[in-house]
Chain A
Amino acid sequence: MVETPPAPGRPAAPGNIFRCAWAVVGKDLAAEWRSKELLGAMLVFALLVILVFNFALELDLPVRQAVTPGVLWVTFAFAGTLGLNRSWAVEREGGAWEGLLLAPVDRSAVYLGKALGSFLFMVILEALVLPIYSALYTVDLFQPGLLIVVLLGSIGYISLGTLLAALAIQTRTRDVLLPILLFPVVLPVLISAVNASAGFLSAAPMDQIWPWLNLLIACDVIFTSAAYLLFEYVVEE
């Protein structure tokens, strides 16, 4: 079956979008597998943040319970910016930026691919941080509810982060700008995630946690759709 390739930036068939997105993900994963730069940096950074918190806050047992959700999500939020920045910086440095834009794919496919890749990196980071935090602070973090919240929160965070990182990387100030752009607008995700996490960790009744989960899911849907639609305006060249 012969497919006529669409012109650069032209809308493609839905199946094509996912295939292209997956190709982008594959490329990023392969590159990272070879160098392992990004994950190493994110992991070390995350551990350092946890360490700093240990000294910054008086983490005796009762405080620890209360503070864990916040500490976790602040850690993820900060380490996440590293991953987001790196994800786009790689393209610019390698000169792959132009290649990516000239490729006969729907721009939205590029967004999906990048977002998916960043999401996977973030999940891997979280998979490493959670057991370490658990061990260091004797808090059981391996509850299914909490893990679901971590995933949902990461989706919302990465969806906005990917869009804004693409913006930031094209400015003079580059990396520095991403946290400034991202944090004020990603607050609803963080607030919902922290509170839902806290609910699961303190074994609160589900009807107390549901509102936060609903809000988190709503944020994920709204932010991902908005970012998906707005992305093409960010990479016009």
Chain B
Amino acid sequence: MTPTAPPDTFGFMVAGYAVILVGLALYGLSLVTRFRRLDRQEKWMDELENEEGSTKREQAD
């Protein structure tokens, strides 16, 4: 019996892996974005707290 070549499903394989890797990448990116936003908010909070602290010191004097 002559062996038949497997069907050409290369395109689907690519599509599948594209979905998997892009999906993972998107989630990773969302994490990075959220961390960056957190950094910004923490910095802003630091500034706010410093202002509060210095206003309090001024009031105390």
Direct contact of A and B (CB under 8 A): no
- On A, residues with C-beta under 8 Å from B are none
- On B, residues with C-beta under 8 Å from A are none
